[in-house]
Amino acid sequence: MIDLRLLRENPERVREAQKARRRDPKTVDAVLEADQAWREATQSFESLRAEQKTFGKKVAQAKGEEKQALVAEAKELSQKVKDLEQRASEAEEAREKALRAIPNIAEGAPEGLEEDFEVRETHGEIPTFDFDVRDHLDIAEKLRAIDMQRGAKVSGSRFYFLTGVGAQLELAILNAALDKATRAGFTPVITPTLVLPETMDGTGFLGEHADEVYHLDKDDDLYLVGTSEVALAGYHRDEVLDLDNGPLRYAGWSACYRREAGSYGKDTRGIIRVHQFHKVEMFSYCKLEDSYEEHERLLDMEREMMDLIDVPYRVIDTAAGDLGTSAARKFDCEAWVPSQNTYRELTSTSNCTQFQARRLNIRERVDGALRPVATLNGTLGTTRFIVALLENHQQADGSVVVPEGLRPYLGGREIFEVR
């Protein structure tokens, strides 16, 4: 969540941040009102409790009938104190709820919604073909790499099987990503894919995003993660970290699950928008002052993965209203998809500043005082890479040239041939 002290001292900045996201700035006023109610309730409680302590001494010194009368008064006073304490507690919960309705403050991001992004840079030449371009699913079916029909038969729509070279290709992409992360000093981690509600909520994926998350009901009360960012963010929950020697960096490999709520009719063909996929995710804990440089570092690593699979791509600066709850800024690498004649997101990297750490109580000690750390995340390899790779490297006969950067992870294989 955002810093309550900042909201108290500079509410106009938070209002402007809400406007940049195209959200109602009145949410700031709701927090201020709830905060004032909490202050008044707390002051009344503490004042009466102090009076109760003084009265207790008076009762202790009294004798006889006077003491009996004072004891009766003390009981009434005690009940009033309990009532005020309850009121103060409820006021604090109301303030917490109002505060959690406000997303992170965007820093440097373009104002507006999804379509208001800005292009930072473009890499590579868009390929031209002297034959009719096939989409990734048509290519993959000829290679016997993806089986959507049996995926739907077994699990329903938007599920699939990766078979043969499809399975090998995904493993090659993920192994290349993990190899790159490990060589860059990231600790590889195989993460849980089921997490507690407090972990999911702490990373900002509940609330308005709850419909996108799979939830196990009944006695389990667990959530399936949509990214290993969730588990990695919870890894150091309630801890004090030592970041004096630099960021703590992890690379999480996990299956990911997304309900894709609200996406009915979008990208129903192939594996662009599916309910289950695999991903290697970078995650960094660092000092707030270092987070901006760390963000560029994660983006550089994503650029290297785009170069490794040798596809044209662009980097966009995501608009404030499309950031999601936790991010202060987000950069996406979007690869060219020939069959759609447009760019589609393959990776994203977000600087969440202190937003997640404040919720998850992850702190560092600076000049003797504790403060929240900054957290960042970034995709380094995922199933969707297959889409851009197959389409950009397709040949007239249905075969696909394997990018040089991936060949070491495929036993030196140079081409996927139709059989």
Q: Is 121 annotated as a binding residue?
A: no
Backbone φ, ψ for residue 264 (5° rounding): -55, 130
Shortest CA distance to 374 belongs to which of 357, 390, 396, 391?
357
Is 230:199 a contact under the CB 8 Å cutoff?
yes
Is 356:374 a contact under the CB 8 Å cutoff?
no
Q: Is 259 annotated as a binding residue?
A: yes
Q: Is 228 annotated as a binding residue?
A: yes
Spatial distance between the Cα atoms of 66 and 293, rounded to a whole number of angstroms: 71
**Could you say which of 15, 134, 249, 258 is catalytic?**
258
Shortest CA distance to 200 belongs to which of 182, 213, 218?
213
Is 411:387 a contact under the CB 8 Å cutoff?
no
348 among known catalytic residues: yes
Q: Residue 270 to residues 110, 140, 159, 386: CA-CA distances in angstroms?
A: 32, 9, 9, 11
Side-chain-facing half-sphere of 335: CA atoms under 13 Å: 28
Is 32:11 a contact under the CB 8 Å cutoff?
yes
Q: Is 260 annotated as a binding residue?
A: yes
Q: Residue 300 to residues 125, 126, 190, 307: CA-CA distances in angstroms?
A: 19, 21, 23, 11
Q: Is 40 annotated as a binding residue?
A: no
**Could you say which of 23, 46, 345, 371 is catalytic?**
345
Is 283:291 a contact under the CB 8 Å cutoff?
no
DSSP string, 1-38: ---HHHHHH-HHHHHHHHHHTT--THHHHHHHHHHHHH
Q: Is 93 annotated as a binding residue?
A: no
**Could you say which of 254, 291, 326, 348 is catalytic?**
348
Q: Is 22 annotated as a binding residue?
A: no
Q: Is 96 annotated as a binding residue?
A: no
258 among known catalytic residues: yes
The H or E element that residue 250 is part of is strand 248-257
**Could you say which of 23, 273, 344, 407 is catalytic?**
273
Q: Is 350 annotated as a binding residue?
A: no
Instruction: Bin 246: left if φ > 0, else alpha if -120 < ψ < 50, else beta.
Output: left
Q: Is 227 annotated as a binding residue?
A: yes
Spatial distance between the Cα atoms of 318 and 118, rounded to a whole number of angstroms: 7
Q: Is 274 annotated as a binding residue?
A: yes
345 among known catalytic residues: yes
Return the percent helix, strand and coil in the chain, to nearest 5: 45, 20, 35
Q: Binding site for ATP, residues?
A: 258-260, 274, 345-348
Catalytic residue annotation: 258, 273, 345, 348, 384
Q: Binding site for L-serine, residues?
A: 227-229, 281, 379
Q: Binding site, residues?
A: 227-229, 258-260, 274, 281, 345-348, 379
